[in-house]
A and B are shown apart, each in its own frame.
Chain A
Amino acid sequence: MAEKKKWMPRWFYQMASPRWSYEIMGKLMPWFAIPAAVLLVLGIAWALAFAPQDYQQGNSFRIIYIHVPSAILAQSCYMLMAVAGAIGLIWKMKVADMVAKSCAPIGATMAILALATGAIWGKPTWGSWWVWDARLTSMLILLFLYLGVIALNSAFESEATAAQATAVLALVGLVNIPIIKYSVEWWNTLHQPATFTLTERPAMPAEMWVPLLIMVIGFYCFFAVSLMMRTRNEIIHRERRASWVRELIEKQ
């Protein structure tokens, strides 16, 4: 009989081992931490001092360099949380559950950041802190989904049940992601359309969008670091009875 074909890459099966995941994350972390620091410092300096001002919005447009990366990250983080939750549900992979749980607080802060900077930007641009517009409302729902996931996860005594329940909630909430994305096309809105699309060049000049791209990548790297720190803590906590964790603690 032919050997059963493994249709997932090797690291996918290795990820099931908390110890392997803990170690690989420890090794990967500096590779994200250093680019995150460099890109964020460079991007913020460029965004605040060197990018030209917008001919209509003046300098308030510099808020875009925080607003867009945090909004993109809030949505990517949600998708990662839902996918990790699904992997946990299907393959009963503990590390995937831990990744999903660790995504929630980071994603919530990014949603808060996108909403707060959006409100602050709205005041001088639209004349109002908040409008009940499709984009803003769906983004607010994203924040509530994150808060719901955090609350639901802490409501169960058993970690396995908590992970299952939150994975289901995260997967149901996934329907909100395309709504956020297409909200500016489906409904009349004050909100401007996306800056970056896969098919077209950005409508703004390069000296405006290059720093924005740097900030987006910087935000992603920062997210990776924060996520790995949280997941590693979660691994130590859940595997506290395993011998390798005991050895690790004794060495500290």
Chain B
Amino acid sequence: MSFDSFSEFLAMGGHGIYVWLSYAIALVLFVINLASPLLRKKQLISELKRRLRREKSTS
């Protein structure tokens, strides 16, 4: 451990804002990279299901 206390860990020797901001941006972009394909998949499946149902009801 390179920090003696939790408050020192948060402060990062005065560079806390820079370090935590970097990691926060990384987290946000990672979540976007997971959520956007997941949402797209959900949307695609419901769209295709609707299309299939429509085709069945007309034929």
A complexed with B: yes
Query: Is A63 an interface residue, CB under 8 A from the partner?
Result: yes
User: Cβ of A96 < 8 Å from any Cβ of B?
Assistant: no
Q: Could you tell me the distance between the alpha carbons of A189 and B15 in the complex, rounded to whole angstroms?
A: 24
* Residue-wise interface mask of B (5-26) relative to A, using a CB-CB cutoff of 8 A (1 in contact, 0 not): 0000100111110110111011
User: Nearest CB to that of B14 among chain A residues?
Assistant: A58
A49 touches B9 (CB 8 A): yes
Contact with A226, one of B18, B33, B41, B52 (Cβ below 8 angstroms): B33
Question: Taking chain B's interface residues, is the majority helix, strand, or loop, or is none over half, making it mixed?
Answer: helix
A105:B15 contact, CB within 8 angstroms: no
Tell me the bound Cα distance from A13 to B7 in angstroms.
57
**How far is B13's CA from A232's CA once the two chains are assembled, in angstroms?**
45
Chain B CB within 8 A of A50 CB: yes
Those of A110-134 within 8 Å (CB) of chain B:
110, 112-113, 116-117, 120-121, 123-124
**Taking the nearest CB of chain B, how far is it from the CB of A114, in angstroms?**
10
List the B side residues contacting A63 at CB < 8 Å.
18-19, 22
Given A246-B52, A252-B49; A121-B44 close (CB under 8 Å):
no
B29 cross-chain contacts in A, Cβ below 8 A: 109-110, 112-113
Q: By the criterion of a CB under 8 Å from any partner CB, how many residues of chain A are at the interface?
A: 42
Specify which of B9, B15, B30, B45 lies most central, judged by the most chain A CB atoms within 10 Å of its CB.
B15
- Residue of B whose beta carbon sits closest to that of A112: B29
Tell me, in angstroms, the Cα distance from A52 to B29 when the chains sit together.
Answer: 27
Q: A113: nearest residue on chain B (CB-CB)?
A: B29
Q: Report the minimum CB–CB distance from A27 to chain B (whole Å).
A: 17
How many residue pairs bridge A and B at CB < 8 Å?
98
Q: Which residues of A contact B30 (CB under 8 A)?
A: 222
B37 touches A52 (CB 8 A): no
Residue from B13, B37, B41 having most chain A Cβ neighbours under 10 A: B37
Chain A binding surface, main DSSP class: helix
Q: Which of B22, B23, B29 has the most CB of A within 10 A?
A: B22
CA distance A52 to B1 in the complex (A): 8
- Residue numbers in B under 8 Å from A112 (CB-CB): 29
**A232 contacts across to B, CB distance below 8 A:** 41
Q: Are B41 and A51 in contact (CB under 8 A)?
A: no
Question: Any chain A CB within 8 A of the CB of B40?
Answer: yes
Shortest CB-to-CB span from B33 to chain A, Å, is 5
Q: Is A249 a contact partner of B26 (Cβ separation < 8 A)?
A: no
Chain B residue, CB-CB nearest to A249: B48
Closest to B48 in A: A249
Flag if A123 contacts B18 (CB, 8 Å): yes
Taking Cβ atoms with an 8 Å cutoff, the residues of B that contact A are 1-3, 9, 12-16, 18-19, 21-23, 25-26, 29-30, 32-34, 36-38, 40-41, 44-45, 48-49, 51-52
- 18 A-B residue pairings within 8 Å (CB atoms): A50-B1, A58-B15, A59-B15, A60-B12, A60-B15, A60-B19, A105-B36, A112-B29, A113-B26, A113-B29, A116-B25, A120-B25, A124-B15, A233-B41, A233-B44, A237-B44, A246-B52, A249-B48
